[in-house]
Amino acid sequence: MGFTITEKIFSERLGRAVIPGEFVEVEVDIALANDVTAPIAINKFEDLYKNSPKYKDRIVLVPDHFTPNKDINSANQVKVLRDFAKKYDLKYFFEVGEVGVEHALLPEQGIVVPGDIVIGADSHTCTYGALGAFATGVGSTDFAAAMISGKAWFKIPETIKFVYSGNLQKWVDGKDIILYTIGKIGVDGALYKVMEFTGEVIKALPMFSRLTMCNMAIEAGAKTGIIEPDTITEIYVKGRAKRDYKFFKSDPDASYCQTIDINVTTLEPQVACPHLPENTKNVSELKDILLDQVFIGSCTNGRLEDLRVAASILKGKKVKKYLRTIIIPATQQIYKDALKEGLLDIFVDAGAAVSTPTCGPCLGGHMGILAKGEKALATSNRNFVGRMGDPQSEVFLSNPAVAAASAITGRITHPEEIV
């Protein structure tokens, strides 16, 4: 019997074969935390341990959730990270001006590479599975333990294989595939499982869409999402990887707990309606939903390719009067590239606000809070009650094309209506 990508990554690290369900302790390649989760871990670390972190080049502190600091409390949170990074001369601390949304920043900077085992004190750490790494979210105490020991414990998860076939329609990308998948299996449909995405559609999918799909695996309850690395992965990783990397591939006779086949040929852009990512509908079913805000950005859809799509729709047009449109490039490099390509001019000319990289509106942190009764369409990953502001507000999720088209009309809109 063969092994899955995930089983191979752990087996290589342990020097023996692993089986789903067993508990293991392994060294991690990267341990990540942000300005919300790191202070808790740092305080615990300093309570328990009086020496330096075991691997100072494996700890990554990214103060992205409330950056630039929105108030005194958030400033104090980031100060904890900054002081800790200075004290131990950590390799990876990202200050304002260089910070980006963590799950866009680490792949871009080559900090996470294929074959890695990564933990992050943030649920969307599963994003890095798009590179062929095993990456998953943990609590702040697990992050503290990893700083002390360099290790983390895992229960080897079972894997669900998702096989995608067919041809994608125009304006449909990885965001729509993963929203449709979550709608099909539910927010607990992959509980503590690996979602392994494969098939002809995935093999042709560009890296930005792969990152989006793996980013939202957690919204189906998954331990992580993962995609077999290939030529597209190699092109993305080569030249930016900070360390050596290794490609792992599932064996043809690998054992899966379930296989789900999905044909995407008739799939149209998807919208997740309040208040769960599983509450998905075709965009054509939602023509009468009026909006107060559109947000394009986040670790899910704030990459350069996402901004290009939004700009192609907004160019020469204006956002609807009385509708707020907020666009946030996910990293400083993306910001610079968008500036060079003239995308930011297009956004500002259309009447949108453009911000320095931050998670901000995605979690209702700042720079786009919803008032009571308001409706927002966001390219982010989560639409729980109160996610972006008042508990009586509503959040809809979509891809950047739908978001940009909707910003022009003031209601949820298929891009074909605009372009």
Q: Are residues 212 and 283 in the same domain?
A: no
Q: Are residues 247 and 221 in the same domain?
A: yes
Residue 14 CA to residue 234 CA, distance in Å, equals 25
Helix axes 304-314, 207-215, angle to 10 degrees: 100
Domain assignment of residue 418, yes or no: no
Q: Are residues 27 and 48 in the same domain?
A: yes
The pLDDT score that the predictor gives to residue 50 is 87
Q: Are residues 195 and 305 in the same domain?
A: no
The pLDDT score that the predictor gives to residue 419 is 87
The pLDDT score that the predictor gives to residue 196 is 98
* Residue 367 structural domain: 271-413
Query: 128: helix, coil or strand?
Result: helix
Strands 270-272 and 280-282: antiparallel
Contact 188, 221 (CB under 8 A): yes
Quickly list DSSP for 41-97: HHHHHHHH--S--S-TTSEEEE--TTPSP-SHHHHHHHHHHHHHHHHHT-SEE--TT
Domain assignment of residue 389, yes or no: yes
DSSP state of 360: G
The pLDDT score that the predictor gives to residue 248 is 97
* Residue whose pair of structure tokens reads 């998905």 in the numeric block: 280
Q: Name the helix (H) or strand (E) containing 412.
A: none
Mean pLDDT by 10 residues, the chain (419 residues): 95 96 97 97 93 95 94 96 97 95 98 98 97 97 96 97 97 98 97 98 98 98 98 96 96 96 98 97 94 98 98 98 97 98 98 96 93 98 94 98 98 95
Q: Are residues 326 and 183 in the same domain?
A: no
The residues pairing with 120 across neighbouring beta strands, listed in sequence order, are 32, 137
Structure token digits, residue 164: 């995608």
Q: Are residues 31 and 148 in the same domain?
A: yes
Residue 222 CA to residue 220 CA, distance in Å, equals 6
Domain assignment of residue 251, yes or no: yes
pTM, two decimal places = 0.95
Structure token digits, residue 123: 């649920």
CATH number assigned to the domain comprising residue 28: 3.30.499.10
Residue 270 CA to residue 284 CA, distance in Å, equals 9
Q: Are residues 287 and 405 in the same domain?
A: yes
Burial class (CB in 10 A: 0-12, 13-18, 19+), 138: buried
Q: Which residues contact 40 (CB under 8 A, 6 or more apart)?
A: 140, 141, 144
Domain assignment of residue 266, yes or no: no
The pLDDT score that the predictor gives to residue 123 is 96
Domain assignment of residue 376, yes or no: yes
The alpha-carbon radius of gyration of the chain (Å, integer) is 20
Q: Are residues 166 and 199 in the same domain?
A: yes
Domain assignment of residue 228, yes or no: yes
| Nearest partner of 188 among 218, 160, 149, 231, judged by Cα | 218
Number of structural domains (the chain) is: 2
What's the pLDDT tens digit per position in 318-362? 999 999 999 999 999 999 999 999 999 999 999 999 999 999 999
Rounded to 5 degrees, φ, ψ at 318 are -120, 145
Rounded to 5 degrees, φ, ψ at 31 are -125, 125
Residue ending a domain, among 198, 230, 261, is 261
* Residue whose pair of structure tokens reads 């919208």 in the numeric block: 271
Residue ending a domain, among 232, 261, 290, is 261
Residue 65 CA to residue 74 CA, distance in Å, equals 9
Contact 387, 395 (CB under 8 A): yes
Q: Are residues 239 and 289 in the same domain?
A: no
Quickly list DSSP for 372-392: TT-EEEESSS---TTTTB-TT
Residue 202 CA to residue 230 CA, distance in Å, equals 11
User: How many CA within 13 A on the CB side of residue 70?
Assistant: 17
Domain assignment of residue 79, yes or no: yes
Query: 121: helix, coil or strand?
Result: coil
CA 97 to chain centre: 21
Structure token digits, residue 323: 């509708």
Residue ending a domain, among 204, 235, 261, is 261
Structure token digits, residue 101: 């949304």
Q: Are residues 78 and 214 in the same domain?
A: yes
Q: Are residues 341 and 220 in the same domain?
A: no
Q: Are residues 219 and 352 in the same domain?
A: no
Domain assignment of residue 59, yes or no: yes
